[in-house]
Structure 1
Amino acid sequence: MAYCPKCGIKVEGDNRPCPLCNFHIPKVNEAKVAVERKFPKAANPYPAHLRRVLNRIFVFVTLLVFVAVSLMFYIDYELNQDFTWSRYSNISILAGWGILYFSFGYVQNYYKVIIGIGLISLVLLFGLDIFSGSLDWFVPLAFPIVVGTSAIGISYWSLIRALSVRGFNVIGFFFIAVVILSMWINFFINRYQHETDLLNWLIVTALQLLPVALIMIYVKFAMPERIKQKIARKFHL
């Protein structure tokens, strides 16, 4: 509906003479499109920039690894007409490159990282032992230690996620995992040296876990809340 700007009466349309005063009514656009004001999206360019820098560094390191491995194989073969010392050096370099791949964040899943690093460690230790002509220490020592370490790491992370553990409990469970891992390694070292006493090992493990468990119980039930909050703010727990 339009109005005559001269006499003010309502008219049916626009861009036509007013029926009362014959004034030419200008065209008025009644369907105004609402203009939506859009704020710019807040984006942090730092993660993308850091990812590009890490990619370049990793590519550069990969090229260095390829050159180093090729050069050592070439020098070893030229000097000895066979691959001798270069096998040990190169498998260690390749294992380090594999661990670096996980360290650069190309794999985000914690379980895959633990399993991947565990497999790389097994391949490295197997290669170092088999190059010596036998598997004297890989099967009784290296294999159970690496597998046990990986299993404890996966169990620790699964427990933290399943129980939604936060704050002091994370530290407590971490120390428990470290004690169990230390005793696990100690058990297979003693077994490799034929000095294993299972009962004694269980008693020592329990005695090492007892202080950590007592500290966790004290923090949970006896420590004043004021001190808890102060420590939590201090260490960002």
Structure 2
Amino acid sequence: MPYCDKCRVEVPGDRRRCPLCQGQLPPGGDPQAEVFPVVPTVYRQHHLAIRIFIFLSIAAGVICVACNFLFTPHRWWSVLVLAGIGCMWVSVSSAVRRRHNLPKNILWQVFWLSMISLLWDFLTRWRGWSVTYAIPGFCVIAMLCLLLLARILHMKSEDFLVYMILDGLFGIIPLAFILFGWAKVSYPSVICIVASVLSFTALFSFAGRKTQAELQKRLHM
């Protein structure tokens, strides 16, 4: 066990400096005796794969920009490729950060995918497919995924009720698309709204007390 001559204490673990005076410690520490062991993050565990993924993304972007400049300079389609790569990284990073909380991960994926679809619709001269099909579809799929996860993983009610409510609130947003005439086809938005209403009805009918208690706990009511 390394000994600090200045502080006159033995330092457990495999430290290079004394935690009290920051002085240099002699070698010979025991990594097994470390009080607070280093917990590897997902980036350290898969650093090679992440670096390869980053390299391939940058290489694809550079090659597309070069090909665009050389062969089709009158149409800058490479901007869409770069935007797609950026959107992919936003979605992947959000999924990795919240990988231990699947309901929260699903909810954030709905948010980011909705924002990405709006961005892509805007970049491709706005045809309305994002508000007509994409956003209502994301909300409905998220509700189904939350229900399946709750059944398959036997999740406790407090682990998914709040996220189910938030996703149901997202699912009512397509009502604005219909009222303002943004949705060119109404049935995807109608299906999403109906699914949200049925979701709220089921929550308060079959788990009303748990839902109310969870809301009071989360909102400090």
TM superposition score normalised by structure 2: 0.48
Greater gyration radius: 1
TM superposition score normalised by structure 1: 0.45
